Structure formats: structure tokens, C-alpha cells
Structure 1
């Protein structure tokens, strides 16, 4: 059964590309002036999206050992189906959320598909992570291969010749490697915010202001996150409840405990909090985003919300001031 679930998970990537293509088709039809056809395509896209998240639940829980990402994928399955149902039944405002998903994928996809883009981004993040580590008094070697530091083994999971792996020696005869990959660059969070901003109907100057305020914050926080994980994992500072942690996550290497706590528990939890704060900043500049949030709250609770007054912002006032 577990092998079958793992095999199904391998289909997530091709399904993801199909989902993105269908969402983009919906956007194209909407802009071309075919709202009814666009709505039908979006409804189909959301059903496919639910299948995409379903395929990711087991890999993220079991293979990626991420409780937060696994729980997020689990929640995304029924939520995607709820969007499809509500859109089909006539909630036209969900077109904005649908456009946002399409634009998020359109921003993220080139980084994944084009090697020169993701390699360059990784190396920039490595340089800034190394700079911050050095600034606070840590100086781990950054290598392409472990032979550079006298170790006769390969770096687990490394599939490129990039200088992107930090090497630590927390104990005698024990080495720890922390590699920066695309997921460590913050591009996913940047794509979420940029896609959301691009999807709403609002003046361009306020959209650019929202991006100018939030994208640098995401990038800087991501560098701090990398440093936090690298140092805590590399120096084994987060050895909390090792026996219980290894049991819960199904690992047999006690060295992994610090990584699980630093990354999968603490950093990912703080990432959720940081994203909520960043969205709050976006809302202050671009109140139109509240429509998407109100739609999501309606789908989750079945209750209509008007957040303009609650958050002391006004879409109408912001539009009239431009």
C-alpha cells in the first residue's frame, strides 16, 4: 500500500502542469470575453487541483516528513472542491482566486523549468545565507562535493554541481550537510503574493507598491530561515525530545532530530505566521485582496464576511484616491 501511495505521488508533478495549463486557459477565455466558458474551465481546473493536492498528501507527510505541508495539502483537497462547487453554483467572485492560482503558477513555473534561472537564484541565496552566517559568527564550508572537506561520501539528494551545500561538524567523526535548493529560495511564497496581487482589479501603482513592500521582506525572512535551520541542524542545537521525535517522524538517525525541529516544526510554523503578516501588509496597500480572503472564509465557514470595516480599510476609498 505504501509503495502504491508513493507511486501515485510521483504523478503530482505532471498533474500540476496540466492543472496550471487549465487555469491559464480559463484566464485566457476570461480576458477574451467568454465569461461562461471561462467559468466552466475554472470549475474543471479546481476539480483537477483537488486531485493534485490529494497526490501530495502522502509524499509530504511520509517522505518529506512535513506535518504542516501535509496538513495543508489535506485541507486543500476539500477546499478546492468547495471552490469548484461554489463557482459552478454562481459565485462569480471566485474568478479572482482562480486568476491568482494561474498567475502564481505562471510566476513559479519558469524558475522550476529553466535551469539557468533556478541555479542562479539558488547561488544568490547561498551567498546571502553564507554572509549572514559569517556575520553572526558561524563559518561552515560551502562545497560542491564533500571531497573538498576530506569526506569520502556523496551529498544525499544532490543532483547538480552547484556550490550550494553547507558542511558542519557537530561531533567528532560526525558531519552534517545542509543544501540550499529551489524550495529554500522563497520563490514559492513570492509567487503566492505576486499571483494574488496580479489577480485583483486595482490600479497598477498600488500593485507595484504592494510588491515592493512584501517581496523584499519575504526574501530577507527566507535568508533568516535558512540560517536558522542550517545552524540549528548543523550544530545540533534543536535536539528536543529525540526519542519521541524519531518515533513520530519515523526516523532512526538521531542527528535528524535537530533538522526536523528546526525546519519541519519551527521554521514552517513561523512561515505560516509570516505569510499571514505579509498578507496583512498587502491588504493595507491593496484592499481589493480582501475579496479573495472573504471568499475563502465563506467557503470554510458558510458565512459571509465584510472585512473592510473590521480591518479598517476601504476598497472604495483607496480606488477614489488614485
Structure 2
């Protein structure tokens, strides 16, 4: 059974090996080039965009594994009718599916783990200086998290293919589903893996000018992009007065639209000066960068757990529902 699974997978495995070898050559070369830069402070400006593009590209690997390895795994057999021959042998349906998932699952772990290790090594000097390892795109392409996503995507693809019974629709559904999960996890789950640290940050004119945004589409005393050194900010309160109350919309709009002219410079100029005179602050929740690896292991466990649950569903479906 294992030998048969490997024979069926030989084309996909060969393509994956070639692409993996090319990626390894490129990343080894890039990592050496990065480590040759003497002034480490220049690394984010020189390689930040490249790291972002690489992370975004490698972040698609689990979705591609789910679409091109997982979805056809059973759907192609059902479309071609070859499942009838396989299921009339001495091997049970559950064992047939379990062996296929195991063989391709190990291959997915090897591919995703190798790519992640190479990218993590190449990008490490840049990450150390930039300090944004919790970025939604970067985090999902570093460490051990990609392994979990790859296994989850493979199993999800196989079960969707088992349910849909058509290869191309299953491939499209799996690809979109995995991308949706990769978008939802950083926004809905990841900030809450461990209790957040909290700090109150005074909003002087200088601090306001260092933020990235003032106001929002819906209005109100909102400030965005306030940073805490060496950490991932997960939540920022609205602007608050010294007594802890939220700054009124009227006072905020007055500084935003009718700030006295002072000739101040900076991103928000006179508006920052006007708000800075109101003795404001924000309450921030954040995750320190030291929690990067604990968060990686937690996310790996979540993905593997979901993959195991979906596999159980698939084993039940293939035995009970598929004829």
C-alpha cells in the first residue's frame, strides 16, 4: 500500500523536489549576501521588501499543497472510478485513506519544514533588526507554523475532494479555504494564545507624530500604529483623557479640523500639537517578541489538531458515506 502510494505520488514528488532545490540555492545565496552586510541597521531598508515578498510567496505553499496534493488524492480516484478496484482488495477503505494521508503528510512536512527552515535562517539577521516577527505574513512563513498549515491543508484537501468528488472544484475550494484560514488565524486567534501584556502610553505631540494614522472611516478619537519596542501590539484603545474617559468626538474633531496654526512639523503637525496639549493617553495590549517561539508551537498544535479532527471525519465518511 505504501509502495503504491509512492508510485502514484512520484510526479508530484519530483516536481516538489526540483522546486525545493531551486529555492534552497536561492535562499542560501540570499542568506550569505545578507550576512555580508557590515552595517546591520541597513538590513530592513535593503531587504525588508524582499523578505515580505518571499514570506507572501512561501505562505501560499500550504494552499498549493492542499489544492494539488490533497484535493486530487481521493477525488481523482472517484472521478476515474479506480476506487472500486482499490476498495475490493484486502485493504480496508480506512487503511487505504490513512496510508495515503500519512505518505503525503510526511512529504508535506518535509517540503514545508525545509522551506521554512531555509527562509527562517536567511531572514534571521533582518528579523532581528526589524523586530516585526509577529507580522501576519512573516509569522506564517517562519518557524514551525508552516508545517502545521501544510498538514492541515493536505488533510482538508483530501476530505473536501472526498466530499465533492470532482477534482477541479475541490482544488479551488481547498485553495480558497486555506487562504481564508491563514487570514483568520492571525486576526482572531493568534492575539489570544497567551494573556497580553498591557501598558499605558502618554500621547504627547511627538508620540502622536510617530503613529501611522489618526481617525477612522467611522470617526471618533482613534489613533493607529502606536508601537511598543520589541513587541507586537494587538489592541490600542481610543484616545483617553487624564481621568480615563474617552476623548469626546467634538474635541478630537476640533483638533483634527480646526487646530490652531503653530507651524509645527511632523506627520500630523498642528493637529498633534493640539491633541498633545490635552494630556491624553492610550491603553495598549501587546505580545513581547520573546513569545515568538511559544506562539509558533501553539499555532503548530492548533493546525495539527484541526488536521487530525478533519482526518477522523474523512475516515468516517470514506467508510460510511462513499459508495
Provide the TM-score with structure 1 as the length reference. Answer: 0.33
> Which of 1 and 2 has greater Rg?
2
Provide the TM-score with structure 2 as the length reference. Answer: 0.33
Q: Which has the higher contact order (CA 8 A, sep 6+)?
A: 2
